[in-house]
Amino acid sequence: MLGVWFVGRDPLTRERYQRAVLRAAISVGIANLAVLISNEYYFRDRPFDDLDIQLLFYPPTDSSFPANPTAVAFAMALGMGQAHWKLGLTLCLVGSIWGLARVYGGVFYLSDIVAGAIIGIAVSYLVRFGLKGIEPIPTWFLRFARTVHLA
């Protein structure tokens, strides 16, 4: 996302990409919060707890449902994809492969991955419409970032 923040052939394209990075960053934070709140009310054991699976790395101790890495990946992918569809599609593909690899590794169930993806997608669209509702604030933020040479 940091690389996309600074690219763009012209000022309009650069601003569109910066708005996408802003949407993606906010979406990632809210998706993390949604998973954290979900984990407070519902705990699901991991597959390696229920099945005879040898883990390749350390065992996570938090709830399996929903999958936080997938929620983050899809929130970022959809946030970025709203400005650059090829990048968004690539990030969705990477997030899917990442989630399936964690299913294969015995860290998540498939339903955990699907729920994480749904949370990431839903949060990304809510943030998109929420930022439109508070429109002067994102514009002021980008203007301030340009003033202090961050954009």
pLDDT digits (tens, 9 = 90+) for 96-127: 999 999 898 888 999 999 999 999 999 999 99
Q: Which CATH superfamily is domain 15-146 in?
A: Phosphatidic acid phosphatase type 2/haloperoxidase (1.20.144.10)
Would the pTM count as exceeding 0.85?
yes
Tell me the DSSP string of 88-146.
Answer: HHHHHHHHHHHHHHHHHTTSS-HHHHHHHHHHHHHHHHHHHHHHHHTTHHHHHHHHHHH
Average confidence (pLDDT) over 26-35: 96
